[in-house]
Amino acid sequence: MLSLNLPKKKGLFITATDTGVGKTMIAGGIARLLTDEGLQVGVYKPIASGCNRGPYGLVSTDAEFLAMCIDNADPTTIINPVSYETPAAPIVCEVREDRVVDFEAVASIYRSLCQRKDIVIVEGIGGVRVPISKGVDVLNLMREFALPAVVVARPDLGTINHTLLTADAIRAAGLYVAGIVINGFNAATAGPAEETVAEVLRKWTQAPILAVVPHDPLSSVEHGKLGSVVLDALCDCDWESLAG
């Protein structure tokens, strides 16, 4: 059983219905807005896979993007203490790379961030039931942080089921769903499913739709770009209040 004894801290845990939904973009955008309000913001991606191998070791593109969003001077090893090269669930990475997830590093660096920052934005890996290590999935990790959860969802057909299941799993774990962000909405190509998804999710999850973020070709995690379209879509939400 996982027991990291993490401190209580004002913050948000950004999760998603799946991988590739855009939770890094949303986490970075929220962090940017909070930084612009004058807060000392910590960004934290405890575990990442599919990292790039550089001259000084593995580097997470997500961690680099999050650092850019808050003009952070900390090394990416602080933002992302556990990194794997294999593009797979961490439990697979452990076997392929013969290295178990270092939960002690996850805990100790988070404690340090909590001491230095006003608020911390934590980003998960994949969806909430992604296995991390033996007997530990993302939900177990979320319980340790005990932060309000923001669920990032696609706008496409099929997302309602994925989002409802995600919200149900989070609540069943005794955690609070602060709300949902629908990411990548394209008005030019939207059909009935995309046009109604926000209203259906609002009613069926009984959680607020915090933002509907349009598709923005000028924003890219891979290229370290956070455009005004994303920020404008996120700026109407009081993220600091949601963080507790």
Name residue 225's beta-bridge partners.
Answer: 220
Looking at the chain, list the stretches that DSSP marks H as alpha helix, in order from N- to C-terminal side.
Answer: 23-36, 61-69, 76-79, 90-96, 103-116, 138-145, 159-172, 192-205, 228-234, 239-242
Query: CA dist 186 to 2, 189, 202, 221, 230, Å?
Result: 40, 6, 19, 18, 13
Residue with tokens 């290295």: 99
The three-class DSSP label of residue 51 is: coil
Residue 184: in which H helix or E strand, if any?
Answer: strand 177-185
Query: Of all residues in the chain, what percent carry a pLDDT higher than 90?
Result: 95
The residue annotated as part of the active site, out of 8, 9, 10, 45, is 45
φ, ψ for residue 226 (rounded to 5)? -120, 105
Each residue's pLDDT tens digit, 73-126: 788 999 999 999 999 999 999 999 999 999 999 999 999 999 999 999 999 999
Catalytic residue flag (residue 45)? yes
Residue 72, pLDDT score: 83
- Supply the CATH classification number for the domain 11-47+103-242: 3.40.50.300
Name residue 153's beta-bridge partners.
Answer: 182
Mean pLDDT of 137-154: 98
Q: How confident is the model at residue 55 (pLDDT cuts 50, 70, 90)?
A: confident
Query: Going by C-beta distance under 8 Å and a sequence separation of 6 or more, which residues neighbour residue 225?
Result: 218, 219
Instruction: Name the residue among 154, 155, 149 with its Cα closest to residue 168.
Output: 149
